[in-house]
Amino acid sequence: MPEPQISNESSQLTPASPLDTDGLEPRQLEICSLLVEKGAMHAERYLGTLRALEATGNPDRIPQASHSARELMKGLEEDDPTFTPVLKSGALIEAVRARATSWRVLKQKEPWCKEEPWTGQIDGSLAVELKHVDELLEQFGQPGGGNARVTAMINRLSPALGALPDAAAKDFKRDWKGALKTFNDIAHHTYPAEEADFREQITRLEALLLVVLKPAPLVDMDELETLIAEGEEGL
């Protein structure tokens, strides 16, 4: 099924698409169009953020809009065929327990486990278990820090930004991670943001999205600082 396309002559997607950008400002329409190029899911989450915020009859609209914004940012970070989710502590413990149980069962029924030292061959059952162990270690060994994920996203979506001096890329990573934490806190009701504050957070996010998504042969330091400053001024 073809992904939705946005017309520059209208604020609506093509009729075949369920997405509707009616009422968006030009800046928002540009962002939505750029997100569609990366995948309809990202555009849906961006639109979901905006639509949830405007649902004035919903008393929980700001946390719900923040949830969509957070998922948009996480989705852009993780939209990589090589990405493997990092196991959190609870899930990691459960995964290790499952492997330990499986290993004990295998040792009880396989004769080679009783050899000391073992000199047998890797048979089918052992090969399957080793494959599971390998997958677990791969997940455990993934770089889970925010900097690693944001760096990978920059290199994938905006090589020009990644080629900037370290200070500029560092500023972007700091602002991106700060925005993601803020949306996460609002979504979990640990940061009771007022509407004006939340709208400023959205504007900052839009500035960051333009930096990383806008197709340009080169994003220089001045452009990066200007886009981020616009977001901070709440333009």
% of the chain residues with pLDDT over 70? 61
Provide the residue ranges of all domains of the chain, joining segments of one domain with +: 26-82+145-232, 89-140
Average pLDDT over residues 188-199: 92
pLDDT confidence band for 118 (50 / 70 / 90): low
Is the predicted pLDDT of residue 171 greater than 80, yes or no?
A: yes
pLDDT at residue number 10: 38
**Is the N-terminal amide bond of 217 cis, ω within 30° of 0?**
no
CA distance linking residue 96 with residue 50, whole number of Å: 41
Contact 199/222 with Cβ under 8 angstroms?
A: no
Is the predicted pLDDT of residue 197 greater than 60, yes or no?
A: yes
CA distance linking residue 180 with residue 69, whole number of Å: 8
Is the predicted pLDDT of residue 191 greater than 80, yes or no?
A: yes
Average pLDDT over residues 37-42: 90
Q: Could you count the other beta carbons within 10 Å of the beta carbon of residue 166? A: 7
Q: Which runs of consecutive H residues, i.e. helices, occur in 110-165?
A: 124-140, 146-157, 159-162
Strands (E) across the chain are located at none
Token output for 131 = 């494959």
Instruction: Please state at what angle helix 61-78 crosses helix 195-213, rounded to 10 degrees.
Output: 20
pLDDT confidence band for 147 (50 / 70 / 90): low
CA distance linking residue 10 with residue 148, whole number of Å: 38
pLDDT at residue number 229: 63
Instruction: Name which of 71, 189, 87 is nearest 142 in CA terms.
Output: 87
Is the predicted pLDDT of residue 188 greater than 80, yes or no?
A: yes
Average pLDDT over residues 48-55: 95
CB burial of 49-85 (b: ≥16 within 10 Å; e: otherwise) equals: bbebbeeeeeeebbbbbbbbbbbbbebbbeeeeeeee
pLDDT at residue number 100: 74
pLDDT at residue number 31: 93
The β-bridge partners of 73 are: none
Mean residue pLDDT of the chain comes to 75
Is the predicted pLDDT of residue 85 greater than 60, yes or no?
A: no
Task: Name residue, tokens 């609002």.
Answer: 186
